[in-house]
Amino acid sequence: MPRTYRRWSHPRDDEAPRRPSRVTWPIGRSGERGCVVKATFATVKVANVAFATPAHGPSTTTHLTGCHISLRPVDQRGMDSGRTRLAARRALVYLSARFAAIRIMTAWARGKRKALLVLAVAASAVWIGLDRWLQVGDQIASIISGMLLVGVLTVNRVRRFLGLGANVSNALEQAAATTSIRYLGEAAPRNFVNRESSLKTLNDLLDLHLAACRAHRIPSQALVMTIGGMAGVGKTALALHWAHQVKDQFPDGQFFVNMRGYSADGRSVAPSEVLERWLRQLEPDAPLPDTLDALSAMFRDILATRRVLLVLDNVSGEEQVRPLLPSVGASVAIVTSRDALDGLAGIEVTTAESLSELTPQDSQRMLTAIIGQPAIDSPESIARLARYCAHLPLALRVAAGSIVTKSRRGYPLKTLIAAFEIEEHRLSRLGSGSGDSRSDVRVAFSYSYQALDATARRAFRLLGLHLAAGSTIDAYVMGALLDKPSAEAATILERLEHRGLVAVVVNEAAQSTEPELRYLAYRYRVHDLLRLYAGELILRRRHRRERIAALQRLTEAYHGCVNYAFTMQNKKNPMVDIEYVEKWCADPAGRASVDLAGSPTEWFDRERPNLLGAVHAAAAARPRPRYTAKLACSLFYFLEIGGHLSDWAAVEEVGAEAATASGDRHDRARSLRNRGRFALVKVLDTQDRLRDDRVAHSVDRTPCREAIALLESSLDLYRKEHRQRGLRRDQAGEVTVLRELGDSYRLKVDPAAPHPALIAAAIEKYDEAADIYATLDNENGLNSLRLALGIAYVLEDPEDRSGKAEELFTQSHRYGTMIDSGRAQHGRLAAYSLIHLGELRHQQGRQDEAIQCYREAVAMLRAHVPHDHVRRARALALLAQALAESGARHEAGVHFHEALTMFAARGRSHEDEASVVTLWLARHGIDDQRNA
């Protein structure tokens, strides 16, 4: 029968003494996976030694045959490190002694002196007997284990001499250590890039902290640092990378624990459990108190006189981590969390690092380091992959790992990268399907989402309905999505920011707003991959009603914002839905949301991706929100003046379909008008381009016919609607269409060969429009019409012998420069009037007056229309041309080159105008003068 050695197991302080049982010694790290060993020897009777926790009993063993020991991990909980070491040493001493008995004679024959010493000491265990040996105590066991391992080389020689397996050798080396566990337990991350600034901050703080500890005999305040950021941004990687760099400076121990604050089952690690593990490792024989506060106080007392490094990873909140933080002494704690941990700031925490995604260059470095030579050979493809991963470290690692695996099976790199291009499939590509947050981006995001309360979850889902890539959102729009007041929506956005699901963007220019609306100064950005995840959530079937209702509120809110910005930019424009704006303005948060952007055009530029996304989302929804057509048709003005013609075409297509489906005659009339305007703009842009009089050129005027047909249909619907309902909005639509019909007839005229009938038709439509503008008391529309009518008179008489055109240009300019709220009420109209007035005076030979008009036009465009770079470049070129002709060649050269730079910045769309400027430079010899 195999012999089984028995002993009394040591009872815990809160337990009664147990009956003798099989020898049970824990081995392994606290709270991790221990080992169970069963040893079998060919020449000796079987000896069973089970390593397990006394509270849990022996566990399943692995078999060992001959002279090789294999270790298999089993679950261990509540193990104490000091007893673990002692038990391991005792067991290994006994096993070594049994091996020594087998080979003692061989050792003598070979003259292995060190091995002979080891074997002789170990053999004493056999002679005395294990039962008595175990009673010798901790000190003798430590001495004997130290004698076993005189040095690392001796261990290897003993292993070879005795024929022991490598696992026994490693176990002997670990047993020889007389201090507590001093390793992090987690390997340093591979392919770690960037974070130089964060690493420098951590190192500088550590150096200052240790210097302060050395300078004072009394313990200084412990150093506690936090690393925050969204899921997958590399918080754990940074903490472990830094910890492995500095671990040698902490001789009393380095501890790592995953607090599981964000996990699949939502069950985080209790701080009391961590404290019990660590205290048993730091003070094996000390009794442990029962309460969390007492455990924390004991832990802090111990750390006050030691230098220990603590890495607390994946923390869910302040309450989970606060009891684990040292208070005084040389110890250092570094905490990682998706949570902002604001409650620790300034009290327990010395500094807080917040990580964001990597730079494009560092993203490519990481991908290249993992993928290898194929990435080096295809830098453009790697740059695209980095963009698809939105520079998130976790996504980069997952994507690179997938590519490496599939490349080995023969897939080409470019094909693999192209698979990430489709947004709808991107998150699926960035996951292994294993459900492991370390290898699946969607799973990592889900832990943060599941940790939210129901209201915050709903808010996060709705962000996927609204946000376009790279855009931001404020509390007003969030309130519309949630159907809540803006102030409450601001609080919800703060909760999302606290959890690392959005990032705050501060509008510094908006800090001067009223205190009650100060929260609108903050806008929030969602990482692109988080945006895709939110979009997946909101598109689930069970959220259909929520999605449709939110889209309805969003389109209504944006319709108000767009029309309010429209009327602020272009006072009393008849196409503004003024009745709706008056009701919408009852909420001051909506007005502030637009006003805080600085100007209506700046607001639109910021919101344009979101507005376009809202229109397309509403068009795809079933049932379609009732304001879909209205919102789509209200965007034309800002899309036109911003030059976003491709976006405009797409939006008008949506508006036409939505208006037809709704059956609303007003919406159909407005859609037809917008499409007619779009056709007209093609010719307007061509006509307004810089041309050289000495170079023949032609303009395609066929879009004018398309515009006239659409506008005539729109005019008919507006008149029917006005006759039936008598609403002001339909009369405003009618006058706008009449004005644009006049533009269509005018633009059909070739200035080189004027067509009197077309000019007369244009003037007739303008006169009809002027009567309605007067009826509506719309000074803005009337003065804008005067500019168009003046251009028609110039076509009729290029030298304006009657003076009608000059008078009309002067009137429209005067109106545009009238001061309203501290600025010109219509700077764009004033600038355009000055440009046409300058051209007229240049044509009349009044050169000095023409130059003055151009100067004022450039100044007006700079001050009031700063985003209209093309129009300003044209005005600069006309000014330079007039200056050059008057002999002011140096000043002309300055303006020529500024205009040329602005045209070049617009790319190929304005190459022809840049060529005209280059031609004028050469004609006046200004290039040669500049080079000289």
pLDDT digits (tens, 9 = 90+) for 114-135: 444 545 555 554 444 444 444 4
Contact 913, 689 (CB under 8 A): yes
Alpha helices (H) in 111-193, listed in sequence order? 113-128, 130-133, 138-148, 152-162, 166-176
Alpha-carbon span 107 to 119, nearest angstrom: 8
Average pLDDT of 341-346?
80
Contact 136, 159 (CB under 8 A): no
Using CA atoms, how far residue 734 sits from 136, 519, 666, 728, in Å, is 107, 41, 11, 10
How far is Cα of residue 147 from the mean position of the Cα atoms in its chain?
A: 58
- For residue 771, what are the contacts with CB-CB under 8 A and spacing of at least 6? none
Contact 795, 746 (CB under 8 A): yes
Position 219 scores a pLDDT of 59
**pLDDT tier for residue 521 given thresholds of 50, 70 and 90:** confident
Position 538 scores a pLDDT of 95
Whether the predicted pLDDT of 157 surpasses 70: no
Position 130 scores a pLDDT of 42
Average pLDDT of 363-383?
93
Average pLDDT of 40-46?
29
Position 158 scores a pLDDT of 42
Contact 610, 525 (CB under 8 A): no
Position 646 scores a pLDDT of 93
Average pLDDT of 69-76?
32
Whether the predicted pLDDT of 376 surpasses 50: yes
Task: State the DSSP H helix or E strand holding residue 223, giving kind and residue range, or none if neither.
Answer: strand 223-228
CA-closest candidate to residue 547, choices 465, 660, 637, 620: 465
Residues, the chain: 932
Alpha-carbon span 131 to 127, nearest angstrom: 11
Whether the predicted pLDDT of 403 surpasses 80: yes
Question: Where are the domain boundaries for CATH 3.40.50.300 in the chain?
Answer: 196-356
Share of the chain above pLDDT 70, in %: 77
**pLDDT tier for residue 832 given thresholds of 50, 70 and 90:** very high
Task: State the DSSP H helix or E strand holding residue 35, giving kind and residue range, or none if neither.
Answer: strand 33-36
Whether the predicted pLDDT of 275 surpasses 70: yes
Position 394 scores a pLDDT of 95
Alpha-carbon span 747 to 686, nearest angstrom: 10
CA angle (700 as vertex; 671, 801 as ends), nearest 5: 95
Position 185 scores a pLDDT of 66
Token pair recorded at residue 568:
């602020």
Contact 806, 840 (CB under 8 A): yes
Token pair recorded at residue 862:
């700079």
pLDDT digits (tens, 9 = 90+) for 604-624: 999 999 999 999 999 999 999
Name the fold adopted by 196-356: Rossmann fold (3.40.50)
Position 221 scores a pLDDT of 83
For 460, the 3-state DSSP assignment is helix
pLDDT digits (tens, 9 = 90+) for 846-878: 999 999 999 999 999 998 888 888 999 999 999
- For residue 379, what are the contacts with CB-CB under 8 A and spacing of at least 6? 364
Cβ neighbours of 541 (radius 10 Å): 6
Alpha-carbon span 757 to 762, nearest angstrom: 9
Position 245 scores a pLDDT of 93
3-state SS of the chain: helix, strand, coil percent to 5?
Answer: 60, 5, 30
Token pair recorded at residue 661:
């489906």
Whether the predicted pLDDT of 717 surpasses 60: yes
Whether the predicted pLDDT of 574 surpasses 50: yes
Alpha-carbon span 115 to 30, nearest angstrom: 33
Share of the chain above pLDDT 90, in %: 56
3-state secondary structure 249-275: HCCCCEEEEECCCCCCCCCCCCHHHHH
Position 183 scores a pLDDT of 57
Position 909 scores a pLDDT of 82
* Sign of the torsion angle spanned by Cα atoms 397, 399, 405, 410: negative
